[in-house]
Amino acid sequence: MSATPREPVTTVPREQWSTRTGFVLAAVGSAVGLGNMWRFSYLTAENGGAAFLVLFIVMLLLIGLPIMLAEFVIGRGSKSSPIRALTQLGSGKWRPAGAIFVACGFLILSYYSVIAGWTMRYAGDAIIAGFQPGAGERFAQYSEGGGALLFHLIFMVVTIGIVSVGVRKGIERTAMVLMPLLFAIVAGIAIYAAFLPGAGAGYAFYFQTDFRAILDLDVLRAAVGQAFFSLSLGMGVMITFASYLSREDHLPKESGMIAGADFLVAFVAGLMVFPLIFALGLSEMVGESTIGTLFIGLPEAFHAMGAPGRIVGLLFFVALFVGALTSAISMLELVVSSAIDSIGWTRMKATIVAGVAIALVGIPSALSAEWLGVVDEIAGTLLVTLGGLIVAVFVGWVMMSPEAEAAKGAGRVRWFPAWRFLLRWVLPPVLTLLLILGIIGTVQNIAGMFADEVEPATEMIEPEAEPGAGEGADGLQDGALLLPEGIVLPG
């Protein structure tokens, strides 16, 4: 709580978003990503259908929204990237906590970019040769090795190019163009899928309800994990974005808009994925596999659809790519902004050095999907939960009058006391418990990964287990996805 020595500052004045819409779309761009279009559908299918949906909405409201508002308050209150923000508003002791945020963004981007590379490759396939049969083998070939590495590097170059141009010209402009495009594609495919014969079975599957699932601890962990990951919380991305805000923004309203848009895209993505898969008779792929649904099941479906499948498939993978790109931009910006604020580098230097370092750290993930799974377990699930805990404790207990900061541009909102109460008394114990459970699960998973024989990638699409309520992905940590060889991926 004491005043702290300032970290070195740059001489360049801090950039600001040019419009409120620009900020909101950039934050939505960060939130909407691979998680919405793929992980959400899978988790819903596996964890009790509509029951998971209800639980996810509750977690978004009870955990996602309060943490997002807290990150915004830290960011706008300090006008700094996470490390400097925590030391300014708290004390020098908080520097390691800020460093955890940056490390988390750094690590997640290193493998998120590998998955984004896969989406580029599938989009390229749709253009060049169309979707071919044998999607399982193709996925095995695309997900690891030289090709995966090449596309990972290409994706990082594109991300570096955009972030190097700056907040307004790079990040904001990209989001203003790409986010409406993504919304249009997702809505368009969902409408198209509704007219496919057999789509009804997809909706029935999506909305089947097993309310016992709500009482299952694994389902709760999955819902909390999804709320964090999907809203890009717990790693300081929203702190960084809010640091470019002017005082006038109505933070509670904007948090609500961003969370609402994120949920809407996830929900509509479900309306697109399930009817497509069920209409093409590939229902056994859903619920028992995760990445398979998307990178194996859907290309198989697009192939079966013939000529329209090529167009729909292209649009689908373009939407995935766009979602991944705007999310990746936000993660790189977190690291870049921290380097600018704390070391005093220019944006160009910070972007190139951070981008190249992230690309290099991602190489093992491109070469081994198993390694990718290990990094995800540690960064994509554990560090994010730890980050959320740090945010709750910091704003709940350490930051002086966060309500006053939240009230700027918004006036006093009736539920501010409830917000602070949640941050102080409810979220720290809940997140600590989830963190402990997560650590236990991670140790078990990682030990299991190295103990197991590696199985062929196509194994995963063979129907073995019945999808059902409360079945986690074989005891995987929440926030993790089952991949061919027992690998886990982020959403």
Helix (H) or strand (E) holding 309: helix 307-343
Residue in the structure block whose two tokens are 């997900």: 143
Is the Cβ–Cβ distance between 64 and 31 less than 8 Å?
no
Q: How many CA atoms lie within 13 A of 345 on its CB side?
A: 17
Taking CB under 6 A as the criterion, the residue among 229, 316, 321, 371 binding ligand PFF is: 229
Q: Which stretch binds ligand PFF (CB under 6 A): 26-34, 57-65, 400-408, 439-447?
A: 26-34
Question: Which residues have CB under 8 Å from 138's CB, separation 6+?
Answer: 132, 299
Tell whether residue 445 is a contact of ligand PFF (CB under 6 A). Answer: no
Which stretches within 134-288 are classed as H helix? 135-142, 146-165, 173-194, 199-207, 217-230, 237-242, 251-279
Taking CB under 6 A as the criterion, the residue among 27, 34, 126, 153 binding ligand PFF is: 34
CB 33 to ligand PFF: min, Å: 2
Q: Which residue is nearest to ligand PFF (CB)?
A: 33
As a whole number of angstroms, the distance between CA 358 and CA 48 comes to: 37
Residues that contact ligand PFF, how many (by CB under 6 A): 17
CB 466 to ligand PFF: min, Å: 28
Taking CB under 6 A as the criterion, the residue among 44, 159, 230, 385 binding ligand PFF is: 230
The tokens for 27 are 């934050």
Q: Which stretch binds ligand PFF (CB under 6 A): 127-135, 177-185, 227-235, 314-322?
A: 227-235
Is the Cβ–Cβ distance between 59 and 48 less than 8 Å?
no
Tell whether residue 33 is a contact of ligand PFF (CB under 6 A). Answer: yes
CB 158 to ligand PFF: min, Å: 16
Tell whether residue 105 is a contact of ligand PFF (CB under 6 A). Answer: yes
Site map (CB under 6 A) of ligand PFF, residues 319-358, x = contact: --------x--xx---------------------------
CB 34 to ligand PFF: min, Å: 4
CB 159 to ligand PFF: min, Å: 12
CB 108 to ligand PFF: min, Å: 6
Is the Cβ–Cβ distance between 7 and 83 less than 8 Å?
yes
Tell whether residue 182 is a contact of ligand PFF (CB under 6 A). Answer: no
Tell whether residue 314 is a contact of ligand PFF (CB under 6 A). Answer: no
Classify the phi-psi angles of 479: left when phi > 0, otherwise alpha if psi is within -120 to 50, otherwise beta: left
The four Cα atoms 161, 165, 166, 170 give a dihedral, to 10 degrees, of: -70
The tokens for 411 are 């006036």
For 166, phi and psi rounded to 5 degrees? 115, 175
As a whole number of angstroms, the distance between CA 96 and CA 9 comes to: 19
Q: Which stretch binds ligand PFF (CB under 6 A): 63-71, 185-193, 230-238, 463-471?
A: 230-238
Q: How many CA atoms lie within 13 A of 261 on its CB side?
A: 21
- Between residue 237 and residue 276, which ones bind ligand PFF under the rule CB under 6 A? 237
Angstrom CA distances, 124 to 120, 161, 239, 284, stand at 6, 20, 35, 27
CB 345 to ligand PFF: min, Å: 21
Nearer to ligand PFF, 251 or 332 (CB): 332
Nearer to ligand PFF, 30 or 445 (CB): 30
Tell whether residue 232 is a contact of ligand PFF (CB under 6 A). Answer: yes
Taking CB under 6 A as the criterion, the residue among 24, 25, 28, 31 binding ligand PFF is: 31
* Chain residues in the site for ligand PFF (CB under 6 A): 30-31, 33-36, 105, 108, 229-230, 232, 235, 237, 327, 330-331, 491
